[in-house]
Amino acid sequence: MPAVRVPKERAESLKERLKKLGLYDGKRRPRRDGDSVLLPVIEDPGIEGLEVLPIDLPLRPERQIYVTLEDVLREKLSEEELRHLMRYDVIGDIAVVRIAPELEHRVEDIIGGLRKVHPFLKVIARKGFHSGPFRVGEYSVIWGENRLETVHRENGVEIKVDLGRVFFNPRMKGERYRLARLVRDGEKILIPFAGVLPYALVIARRKRVKITAVELNEEAYRLGLENLELNRKRLRGEVEFIHGDAFRILPELPTYDRVISPTPRGVDALSLTLSKAGRFLHYYDFVHEAKMGEFRGRIIEHCRKTGRDCDVRIKKVSDFKPHTFKVCADVHIKG
């Protein structure tokens, strides 16, 4: 985790600003350094004039006692039971968990453990699977307030979500940061399947760009508009948001420097999105490890058919199921 160096007289105000951006790392201790203070941050906040140092400031002792859910549950669960513990997500003040059938009798312990590790939680929800064209997950609240709406902070932006009505995946945070770093000021970018606008917000926060985003789910569109308002003052770029079916709307649009396609699972939007990409396409899909070469070949063939020379790199983004990965094809169109 990095730290930022700030003059000591500005330390308090900057700390508050970093907290509002969700980038202050409260688990670590700030440190005096001559006339400066080193403030712990989760990532480079991208604030002009701030020096970012690759320093791991020490953890606060009180936070060291319980660091992970596994640490907390080690007191109560057997080694065998701990093996069935699944990864969970914290989205705003909601923890989202999957509980294996083997731990059904441990639900209360898991709730207690999550509350100990994340004392700010207001809701704990159990998650089923994503389904339907809008890829909305099934959730049931098992502790706390009866709601699935919250504001999540990521990469310096606030993202309002309603997990019962829209798709949102906090694990794509690093991917969004990666793309925001690849983008150059001045680009025109198209994002079909835009959801509540996480990619658009993270990119527009960092770069002076013009983004056109398209989303079919009316609830996601409505929340996306709210998110633009919520982040208005911190965005450098502009975002135009269109409500509608990408397959009908894209053919009417011009080409863009860059297209980012967070494609819904089971949808083939390759030729649609490639036809709108002037220089770069980032195409997400789910691919079996034995079919990576075939997937890459399909993209190259699409490029060839449309008279373009493309460089294609496939990046594994996350595990999806055994031997199948969520991947991003980074396509560079050279001619």
Binding site for ligand SAM (CB under 6 A): 133-135, 167-169, 172, 192-195, 198-199, 214-217, 220, 245-247, 262, 264
Task: Choose between 107 and 242: whose C-beta lies nearer to ligand SAM.
Answer: 242
Q: How far is the CB of 46 from ligand SAM (least distance, A)?
A: 21
Q: How far is the CB of 137 from ligand SAM (least distance, A)?
A: 11
Q: Which of 166, 99, 159 is nearest to 137 (CA)?
A: 166
Q: Tokens representing 154?
A: 């990521």
Please identify which residue in the block is written with the tokens 């079916």. 245
Count of CB atoms within 10 A of residue 29's CB?
A: 15
Q: How far is the CB of 327 from ligand SAM (least distance, A)?
A: 13
Task: Choose between 179 and 310: whose C-beta lies nearer to ligand SAM.
Answer: 179
Q: Are 72 and 142 in contact (CB under 8 A)?
A: no
Q: Are 310 and 300 in contact (CB under 8 A)?
A: yes
Q: Which of 65, 23, 250 is nearest to 154 (CA)?
A: 23
Q: How far is the CB of 317 from ligand SAM (least distance, A)?
A: 11
> What CA–CA distance (Å, rounded) separates 84 from 88?
12
Task: Choose between 216 and 277: whose C-beta lies nearer to ligand SAM.
Answer: 216
Q: Backbone phi, then psi, for 40, in 5-degree steps?
A: -75, 130
Query: How do strand 123-131 and strand 149-154 relate by DSSP bridges?
Result: unpaired
Q: How far is the CB of 216 from ligand SAM (least distance, A)?
A: 4
Task: Choose between 2 and 198: whose C-beta lies nearer to ligand SAM.
Answer: 198
DSSP 184-217: -TT-EEEEES-TTSHHHHHHHHHS--EEEEEE--
Q: Tokens representing 138?
A: 């099934």
Q: How far is the CB of 54 from ligand SAM (least distance, A)?
A: 29
Task: Choose between 2 and 264: whose C-beta lies nearer to ligand SAM.
Answer: 264
Specify whether the backbone of 154 is left (phi greater than 0), alpha (psi in -120 to 50) or beta: beta
> What CA–CA distance (Å, rounded) separates 103 from 80?
10
Report which residue's Cβ sits closest to ligand SAM: 195
The torsion angle over the Cα atoms of residues 275, 277, 281 and 286, rounded to 10 degrees, is -20
Q: How far is the CB of 249 from ligand SAM (least distance, A)?
A: 8
> What CA–CA distance (Å, rounded) separates 56 from 47?
20
Task: Choose between 21 and 194: whose C-beta lies nearer to ligand SAM.
Answer: 194
Q: Backbone phi, then psi, for 306, in 5-degree steps?
A: -100, 15
Task: Choose between 156 and 262: whose C-beta lies nearer to ligand SAM.
Answer: 262
Task: Choose between 2 and 192: whose C-beta lies nearer to ligand SAM.
Answer: 192
Q: How far is the CB of 130 from ligand SAM (least distance, A)?
A: 8
